[in-house]
């Protein structure tokens, strides 16, 4: 069985630090341990067309085009015909070849895997912040490079959302990782066949020792990942909650895997975060960390006391899945698909999106109540043992491929 993947992820034998970290481990297992041949067609903004082998997986890199021409389509047609796959697996609606593959379904079977919902991103792009509050913190980048400003990006997402809806409405086969996404898909396309899948973790998370409650530490660490790119991720909510906690518990530290941007790269939201940190006098209590590979994340999570995701919406949240797999107590906003991570609300502590005091209160419970922390940790390990079992994920993916092809 030959499956052609079309994704925005260029596979590499180097440690992954970018998005799509779950794709390569799944491709490796399918390609090396089953009778399935995976070929990855990576749509990349860098470089020209070329082919290579990443381990045993054949990969084609094709350039990203904002506007796809007839020549681009003809070249892709020829490449697909040369590969002659049994099925095309499209990863994500944001792939700019997605609308082309709608019409291609007459020739070959196509499976769309939902990687996120653009409509939900646009709706909550500013989080709970007003445009005026961002305007007060306007940065030079927003003026000189207006096309990359938060306002322009949100406006652009409206066009992308229309494309997403068009793809969802016309695809025959769609796979999802959450009931929340499934509900949206089903509402927009009642005729498609929907498959439920789970996400493969990186090998480092499967073999890592599990988190344990640390009785005597000089400071307790709150850990978060990429919470300050834009307001949607709720970085300002976490920082405000942290400020409240610091007044009661001075020996706390917040570590965020997301470097503060400097100079021309700063946006209005970067300025907003900087001023918030300065106002709350937290400069010495927050550590901004470089983007990490899997080993770095495992170490950071293992040494932390609690992981927090304050996002206003998530269609899955890979960072929570990774934290739970280690047994790290987690606190998250009750938004999007994140409530689905819990056994009867025993796996995570939740707070209403944007509610600073509730966020701080839930973090405090996980930090200082050993009974609650251990209950969360044990439930998390059990939950992820069921939902991120690598062998079950592979077998389920094979079942989906077989059902579509047959």
Residue 184 and residue 236 in one domain: no
Summarize pLDDT for 112-147 with one digit per residue, the tens: 999 888 888 888 889 999 888 888 888 777 777 776
Burial (Cβ within 10 Å: 0-12, 13-18, ≥19) of residue 273: buried
Summarize pLDDT for 30-76 with one digit per residue, the tens: 998 889 999 999 887 566 788 889 989 999 988 776 667 778 788 88
Q: Which domain holds residue 7?
A: 2-113+171-198+389-405
Q: Is residue 153 part of a domain?
A: no
Residue 261 and residue 299 in one domain: yes
Read off the pLDDT of each residue in 292-306 and give the average, rounded to a whole number. Answer: 93
Residue 244 and residue 185 in one domain: no
93 phi/psi in degrees, rounded to 5: -80, -15
Summarize pLDDT for 166-185 with one digit per residue, the tens: 899 999 999 999 999 999 99
By the 8 A CB rule, do 365 and 349 touch? yes
Q: Is residue 129 part of a domain?
A: no
Distance CA 384, CA 321 (A): 7
Higher-pLDDT residue of 400 and 101 is 400
Residue 179 and residue 320 in one domain: no
What's the confidence (pLDDT) of residue 27? Answer: 94
Q: Is residue 127 part of a domain?
A: no
Residue 325 and residue 250 in one domain: yes
Distance CA 274, CA 260 (A): 8
Residue 273 and residue 296 in one domain: yes
Largest CA distance in the chain: 65
Residue 214 and residue 74 in one domain: no
Q: Is residue 156 part of a domain?
A: no
Residue 260 and residue 370 in one domain: yes
Q: Is residue 166 part of a domain?
A: no
| pLDDT higher than threshold 80 for residue 354 | yes
Residue 300 and residue 399 in one domain: no
Residue 374 and residue 295 in one domain: yes
Q: Is residue 177 part of a domain?
A: yes
Please count the structural domains in the chain.
2
Distance CA 128, CA 348 (A): 23
Q: Is residue 57 part of a domain?
A: yes
Residue 246 and residue 379 in one domain: yes
Residue 340 and residue 397 in one domain: no
Burial (Cβ within 10 Å: 0-12, 13-18, ≥19) of residue 14: exposed
Summarize pLDDT for 244-275 with one digit per residue, the tens: 999 999 999 999 998 677 777 788 888 899 99
Q: CATH number, domain at 99?
A: 3.40.50.2000
Summarize pLDDT for 14-30 with one digit per residue, the tens: 765 555 578 999 999 99
For residue 66, give the nearest of 41, 93, 86, 95 by alpha carbon.
95
Q: Is residue 161 part of a domain?
A: no
Contacts of residue 229, defined as CB under 8 A and 6 or more positions apart, other chains included, come to 235, 258, 269
Percent of the chain with pLDDT over 70: 94
């Amino acid at each position: 069985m030959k499956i052609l993947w079309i994704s925005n992820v260029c596979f590499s034998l180097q440690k992954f630090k970018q998005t799509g970290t779950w794709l390569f481990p799944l491709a490796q297992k399918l390609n090396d341990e089953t009778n399935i041949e995976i070929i990855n067609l990576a749509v990349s903004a860098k470089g020209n067309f070329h082919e290579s082998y990443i381990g045993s997986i054949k990969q084609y890199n094709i350039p990203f085009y904002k506007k796809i021409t007839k020549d681009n389509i003809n070249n892709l047609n020829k490449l697909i015909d040369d590969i002659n796959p049994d099925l095309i697996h499209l990863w994500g609606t944001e792939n700019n070849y997605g609308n082309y593959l709608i019409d291609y379904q007459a020739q070959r079977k196509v499976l769309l895997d939902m990687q996120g919902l653009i409509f939900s991103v646009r709706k909550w792009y500013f989080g709970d912040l007003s445009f005026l509050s961002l305007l007060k913190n306007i940065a030079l980048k927003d003026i000189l490079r207006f096309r990359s400003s938060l306002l322009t990006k949100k406006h652009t997402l409206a066009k992308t959302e229309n494309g997403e809806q068009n793809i969802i409405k016309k695809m025959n086969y769609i796979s999802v990782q959450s009931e929340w996404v499934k509900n949206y898909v089903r509402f927009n396309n009642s005729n498609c066949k929907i498959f439920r899948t789970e996400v493969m973790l990186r090998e480092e998370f499967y073999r890592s020792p599990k988190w344990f409650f640390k009785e005597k530490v000089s400071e307790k660490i709150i850990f978060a990942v990429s919470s300050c790119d834009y307001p949607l991720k709720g970085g300002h909510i976490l920082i405000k909650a942290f400020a409240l906690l610091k007044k009661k518990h001075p020996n706390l530290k917040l570590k965020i895997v997301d470097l503060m941007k400097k100079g021309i790269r700063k946006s209005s939201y970067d300025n907003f975060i900087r001023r918030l940190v300065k106002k709350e006098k937290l400069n010495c209590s927050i550590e901004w960390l470089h983007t990490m590979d899997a080993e770095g994340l495992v170490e950071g999570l293992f040494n932390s006391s609690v992981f927090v995701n304050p996002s206003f919406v998530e269609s899955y949240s890979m960072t929570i899945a990774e934290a739970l797999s280690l047994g790290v107590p987690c606190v998250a906003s009750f938004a999007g698909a994140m409530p689905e991570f819990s056994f009867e609300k025993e796996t995570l502590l939740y707070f209403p999106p944007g509610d600073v005091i509730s966020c701080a209160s839930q973090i405090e419970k996980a930090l200082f109540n050993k009974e609650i922390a251990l209950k969360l940790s044990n439930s998390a390990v059990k939950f992820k043992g069921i939902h991120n079992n690598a062998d079950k994920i592979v077998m389920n993916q094979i079942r989906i491929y077989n059902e579509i092809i047959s």
